[in-house]
Structure 1
């Protein structure tokens, strides 16, 4: 029996997300819930261009085992004015040293952490409905007060 072929990822766009520092009550017995306001940003790539609208949040859960669960909800506005809702669930896994550097907005070699997510889109009929008709994966790269989400469509 031959092995199945792996679906090829297609790069579709990057989302450069701006945030403010996280709000938190501190760590508890089950970890720490961080409320991270999303304040704006840009979307650019071969399949979509536009902006990130202010008002979204990432409700990150920093688990006691060091893994961060990403739970971001926000809206994009395409160049043609279409509003697109995104829900991005993911994981960030890093050593204690890499995690401390990331949280301090210091540069960290991407080989020293795993930061991936699976965005799901709600887009209107028409030019952007392909977003709700496909599955996506993303690579997330931290930046000072934000992240860059490189989005790939699974073909």
Structure 2
């Protein structure tokens, strides 16, 4: 009698546990539309500011950029780098990839800055962090995930540390 791989897993490998890291709100003015290139339809956003708040760290978004690839399958891939400054002055580089996907009419409304319910589309991110600040050294060695919602003036993300 054979046992499937999932049945043989220890409990620690059967589910994923997270804890809140912070909520991030970015300011993103209208995008620069590069247009159709040989590699895809490209848009670029500048991130001139924002805020983040969490139990273990909070602060402001100093700056960043958001390079977007609009795919043909009603999905937008975002490659983002931002610089965070904590309330105690530490600098943290946050790099993340997002996928924002949904029915074409929902994606079109988001692109026009119209209000859409967060559950009407898929918006997920995978951030990683870098810092030289000793008090936040732990963030260099975590995996995180996030869920997002797009407002007309920029996204809001709830970010979680994967335990």
TM range (shorter): over 0.9
TM-superposed CA distance for 1:131, in Å, is 1.1
My pick for the range that moved more, 115-124 or 29-38, is 29-38
The alpha carbon displacement at 1:17 in A equals 0.4
**Contact conserved, 1:116 with 1:139, CA < 8 A, in 2?**
yes
Tell whether the 8 Å contact from 2:90 to 2:133 is kept in structure 1 after alignment. no
* Structure 2: unaligned runs, 5 residues or longer: 1-6
1:43 alignment partner in structure 2: 52
C-alpha contact (below 8 Å) 1:30/1:63 kept by paired residues: no
1:28 CA displacement: 4.6
Trace 1:4-153 onto structure 2 (pairs within 5 A).
4-28=13-37, 30-54=39-63, 56-153=64-161
Give the deviation of 1:126 after TM superposition. Answer: 1.6
State whether residues 60 and 68 of structure 1, in contact with CA within 8 Å, keep that contact through their aligned partners in structure 2: yes
- Structure 1: any 5+ residue segments left out of the alignment? none
The structure 1 segments of at least 4 consecutive aligned residues displaced by more than 6 Å after TM superposition are none
**Is the partner of 2:115 in helix, strand or coil?**
coil
Paired positions, count:
154
RMSD over aligned CA atoms reads 1.4
